[in-house]
Structure 1
Amino acid sequence: MNFSLYSDVILLRDLPEEGLYAGYIGTVVEQHNVQGLETGYSVEFFDMIGNTVAVVTLPMNCFRLPTSGDRPTVRLMANAV
């Protein structure tokens, strides 16, 4: 499965060094095809007011598409105020 440019995806693993955790929703901003490697994606993650939190590039298996069973939630980050 490939993700479309600008589609929302859900992160499947924690990336504490980036301040990102499994379940965060990001937007695909670039697809990377390298012969012999799994397709990779650059995904941008935002806070709830539209500021970029991080942009990461990871293989496709680190993301999934949202489903109708997913619900948005809010977590206040300690250093976010």
Structure 2
Amino acid sequence: MDFQLYTDVVLLSDVVEEHLRLGDVGTVVERHDVPGLETGYSVEFFDMLGSTIAVVTLPGSMLRAPTHGDIPFVRSEAVTI
């Protein structure tokens, strides 16, 4: 899938080292095109108050676009960059 800058995306698997979980929502902040490799995206994840909790570069296959069937979910976890 091709994602535009500054659009929301949904994480399709956990990123344990960054304390991110399947279903977390982030914003695409950069696109990485490398010949011969899958397109990658830098995605910024925020807490509910707008503070950045992680910026991670991920392959497009680990992301999907939000749908009308998605329901936001809040979880508490002490995470800082």
TM-score under structure 2 normalisation? 0.94
1:27 aligned counterpart, secondary structure: strand
Moved segments of 4+, more than 4 Å? none
TM superposition shift of 1:73: 1.1
Equivalent residue runs for 1:7-22 within 5 Å: 7-22=7-22
Q: Tell me which residue corresponds to 1:6.
A: 6
SS of 1:41's equivalent? strand
SS in 2 for 1:43: strand
CA positional deviation for 1:26: 0.1
Identity of aligned residues (%): 62
Instruction: Report the Cα distance in structure 2 between the residues aligned to 1:18 and 1:65, rounded to whole angstroms.
Output: 21
Unaligned regions of 5+ residues in structure 1, if any?
none
Equivalence for 2:47: 47
Coordinate RMSD, CA, aligned: 0.9
**Offset at residue 19 of structure 1 (A):** 0.9
Give the total of aligned pairs. 79
User: What is the SS of the residue equivalent to 1:73?
Assistant: coil
1:7 deviates by 0.3
CA distance in 2, matches of 1:35, 1:54: 26
Q: TM-score, normalised by structure 1?
A: 0.94
